[in-house]
């Protein structure tokens, strides 16, 4: 299960999923901090699956 790269929460909403070359890509929105990110997983089947995250939207900030 992926975790939010900012706050570490597993409370995520899957927005969409697609295939990009050898990666299965899923866009998530964090229900705790509001951030959005892409989760890439290499599903080629050679060795251990490689995975990484890319932020697509920073979490909202509070006005002070």
What confidence tens digit (pLDDT) does each residue in 35-60 have? 899 998 887 766 666 777 777 766 55
64 domain residue, yes or no: no
Q: What is the pTM of this model?
A: 0.75
- Alpha-carbon distances of 48 from 6, 40, 51, rounded to whole Å: 24, 14, 9
Domain extent for 20: 12-57
Phi and psi (nearest 5°) for 56?
-115, -15
CB atoms within 10 A of CB 12: 20
62 domain residue, yes or no: no
36 domain residue, yes or no: yes
Token readout for 61 is: 């900030």
- Coil, strand or helix: which one is 23? strand
Nearest to 52 by CA among 33, 15, 26: 26
- Overall average pLDDT of the 7-34 stretch: 91
């Amino acid at each position: 299960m992926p975790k939010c790269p900012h706050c570490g929460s597993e409370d995520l909403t899957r927005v969409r999923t697609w295939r990009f070359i050898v990666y299965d890509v899923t866009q998530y929105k964090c229900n705790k901090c509001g951030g959005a990110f892409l989760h890439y997983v290499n599903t080629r089947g050679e060795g251990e699956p490689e995975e990484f995250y890319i932020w697509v939207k920073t979490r909202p900030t509070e006005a002070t």
